[in-house]
Chains A and B, each alone.
Chain A
Amino acid sequence: MFAGFDFDVIQRSLPFLFKEGMVFTVTLTLMAMTGGIVFGTLLAMMRLASLPVVPLVAGTYVNLMRSVPLVLVIFWFYFLVPWIGGWVIGATEPIRVGAFWSCAITFTIFEAAYYCEIMRAGIQAVPRGQVSAGYALGLNYWQMMGHVVLPQAFRNMAPVLLTQTIILFQDTSLVYVLSLTDFLGAAAKVANRDGRLVEMYLFVAVVYFIISFFLSYQVKGLQARIAVPGKI
């Protein structure tokens, strides 16, 4: 039944697909993951802070980001930010952000909302007594969070954080709408050029499946590896 297909096109385009496409996808994923977790953790700390206004600001941000489709955020950010940035610094021309950085920032601020909720749950799962013990020893808020609460929160939440990163890895394919050459974008270009849509999209799907499946399999082993000795 595959007689009419040309799977050779995959092999011919492999260097382009992986060296350009997959490198882009992985770079974007790693950057957005790092930035998203850092920013998300700060947001989670803000949401849980016993200060006026601060939790409200963080909560509004998170709820807003989680109620808007990602594609929309990518579009808005790509087209609007150069103008807003130009307006902010008083330039007459829109500033040049560049498609890659635009995407990296968009994914970071978007994913931060999701990482925030994961970290919030992780922080809340650390018993209150740990916080008291940290303060009772004379640690200040940042020392207490940095040495006592966050290390435990990260440990508890590592599998969920990794699962969210797998979703992020798949979501980066949405940069397709900006005609960027991520893995999917690279395959689409080849597919359209050679008229081999079925072969290329099938291959892309298989690659995404294998990587995501492998990663989610790793999630299972992760918890056991980072578990604290003696803790159930």
Chain B
Amino acid sequence: MAMIEMKNVSKWYGSFQVLTNCTTQVDKGEVVVVCGPSGSGKSTLIKCVNALEPFQQGDVIVNRVSISDPKTDLPKLRSQVGMVFQHFELFPHMTVTANLTLAQIKVLGRPKEEATEKGLKLLERVGLMEHAHKYPGELSGGEQQRVAIARALAMDPIAMLFDEPTSALDPEMIKEVLDVMVELAQEGMTMMVVTHEMDFARKVAHRVIFMDKGEIVEDAKKDDFFGKPRSERAVQFLSKILHH
């Protein structure tokens, strides 16, 4: 069953086209990695899935709900799709616990105790229980990103979007974040991940989407993509990033 379906999505900034007829889908329980050179539209594509980026043509359907339908309750749809950002985007003026519970309380209407319990359970899962009362600014980048993942999971999402979750991290912190993501993938979470971490893709991805200049150039099973990429551009891209 398709959890996320993108149909001919096109987007322009003024006259500059950033996405051209992007069509793909992510099935339930599937992990799809989106890669490509910078400026290829990967982040824009993934932000179209939860309507953080508006698009002019085409449609995205999340769990059978069309996001371009004006009747769709966008906040509700977004609350079902977790998102993790390149720069973490924890709320700096709130403690870790408050970050974890805000949307549970305000959006899902959970009582405070229940939200706190849920939040702390997830915090424990990402191994940061002792930081519950700290502020995000007191944590390292890797820790902040793990809190951000826990914050998204606290909403019981049906799918998770990752927008370059390790790109802003120091090398020694990348692993701790990837470990959490690998675990999620192995538990069967539906995931769409924009990343340059090809080891992650090799390990847990089912499919790899390669983008260039706003187009989906390749959309293939993992083994096909790494084994015999069909497009010239994908071959070039892989040769550039794989030997380090």
Contact = CB atoms under 8 A, between A and B. Distances in A.
A138 B93 CA distance: 19
A135 B83 CA distance: 10
Interface in A121-176: 127, 129-130, 132-140, 143, 147-148, 151-152, 155
A228 B106 CA distance: 23
A128 to B, nearest CB: 10
Given A136-B83, A137-B79, A229 B138 contact: yes
Nearest to B82: A136
B230 to A, nearest CB: 34
A133 B138 contact: no
Given A138-B103, A147-B102, A230-B138, A152 B93 contact: yes
Given A137-B79, A138-B78, A228 B52 contact: no
Most buried by A among B91, B134, B152, B155: B91
Nearest to A147: B102
Interface in B88-102: 89-93, 102
B141 interface: no
A220 interface: no
Contacts of A132: 47, 52, 83, 85, 89
A155 B50 CA distance: 30
Nearest to B102: A147
B244 interface: no
Contacts of A193: none
A231 interface: yes
A139 B103 CA distance: 7
Interface in B69-90: 75-76, 78-83, 85, 87, 89-90
Contact of B75 (A130, A138, A231): A138
Contacts of B235: none
A138 B138 contact: no
B219 to A, nearest CB: 25
Interface string B131-142: 000111111000
Interface residues of B, number: 32
A155 B93 contact: yes
Interface residues of A, number: 23
B137 A137 contact: no
Interface string B38-80: 0000000001001010000000000000000000000110111
B85 A133 contact: yes
Contacts of A151: 93
Contact of B137 (A127, A129, A228): A228
Given A129-B85, A135-B75, A152-B93, A229 B107 contact: no
Contacts of A139: 75, 102-103, 106-107
A229 B91 contact: no
B56 to A, nearest CB: 15
Contacts of A134: 91
Contacts of B75: 135, 138-140
B151 interface: yes
A151 to B, nearest CB: 5
Interface of A: 127, 129-130, 132-140, 143, 147-148, 151-152, 155, 228-232
7 contacts: A129-B85, A130-B91, A136-B78, A143-B107, A147-B91, A230-B134, A230-B138
Given A129-B87, A151-B93, A230-B134, 14 more contacts: A130-B91, A132-B47, A133-B85, A134-B91, A135-B75, A136-B50, A136-B52, A137-B78, A137-B103, A138-B78, A139-B75, A228-B93, A228-B137, A229-B134
